[in-house]
Amino acid sequence: MTASALDIRHLSVDLGSGKERRTVVDSVSFELRRGEVLALVGESGCGKSKTAEAIMGLLPPGRSRVRAERIRLGEHELKDLPSRAMRKFRGRDISMVFQEPRAALDPVFRVGQQVSSVFRRHRGHSGSKARTASAEMLLRVGFAEPGRVMRAYPHELSGGMCQRIGIAMAMACRPQVLIADEPTSALDVTTQAQVLAQLIRSCRQEETAVLLITHDLGVVAQYSQRALVMRQGKLVEEASVADLFTRPHNEYTRSLLTMAQAGMA
Ligand SMILES: Nc1ncnc2c1ncn2[C@@H]1O[C@H](COP(=O)(O)OP(=O)(O)O)[C@@H](O)[C@H]1O
Ligand SMILES: [Mg+2]
């Protein structure tokens, strides 16, 4: 078994075509170790989400180009994998929680059907077995009455509840890797801490490694062991969290810390 859950080498993303083409992720390399929480920070527009979407195989091929030397998930090379093959990994071995709490949910289906579909698709569970597994998963992310939630439609639930369902779906197959892209920034402040704590708790239980994308340095300090700092498509710093806060190497990292202390970030 390799030590890294995710091994990314020289990942680049270009958006647009012809004269409009822009490189928004520029030769990014990093390693996510098994079971760790690695933070990815940087100002809005620096390429964090495009990095995540490229790894997940979620960028539309016509309008974007992903280049990489390596996108390795444990033993598996995901680079250049056909989209059908990638769909087998996505949601089972690597999954994602999005910023928008309803992004993973379809408005026209009840929650129960949607959580169950993960178990049916990736685990081959029958209808009733999938429903039982879904109820257990929803209990694990803090719903005291899973039956009620399973009967609801997404619009009947709060953003925080939808995000906990998103976490339940992402964690249903005990993935090796979870990419959480600002998973709580769309929620109200009181809900943010609870949902994030739930996400981290679920990942620790399942020994899932997390790439935690955030602009909140308080979150970095609280939950992650190491951090990557991104600026204008490039990684400019990689450090343990202790080093990041006490002796940042990069000028830009220092300015992020100063802004955070001033309450501006
Ligand atoms: N659909 C798009 N078309 C063109 N440019 C885009 C599109 N989506 C994002 N971008 C650009 O790509 C860059 C990286 O975006 P993104 O990865 O979403 O940043 P972050 O998640 O760090 O805020 C940004 O500069 C943004 O303007
Ligand atoms: Mg983003």
Cβ of 44 less than 6 Å from ligand 1 = yes
136-188 pLDDT tens trace: 999 989 999 999 999 999 999 999 999 999 999 999 999 999 999 999 999 99
For 38, residues 6+ apart whose C-beta sits below 8 A from its C-beta are 30, 32, 209, 210, 211, 212, 224, 225, 226, 227, 228
Say if residues 151 and 116 touch (Cβ distance below 8 Å): no
Nearest-CA residue for ligand 1 atom 2 is: 15
Q: Which atom of ligand 1 is nearest to the CA of 25?
A: 14
Q: Which atom of ligand 1 is nearest to the CA of 51?
A: 17
> Amino acid identity, residue 139?
L
- Ligand 1 centre to CA of 103 (Å) is 17
Residue 105 phi/psi, 5-degree rounding, is: -110, 145
Nearest to 103 by CA among 64, 65, 52, 145: 52
22-37 pLDDT tens trace: 999 999 999 999 999 9
Cβ of 231 less than 6 Å from ligand 1 = no
Q: Give pTM, 2 decimals.
A: 0.94
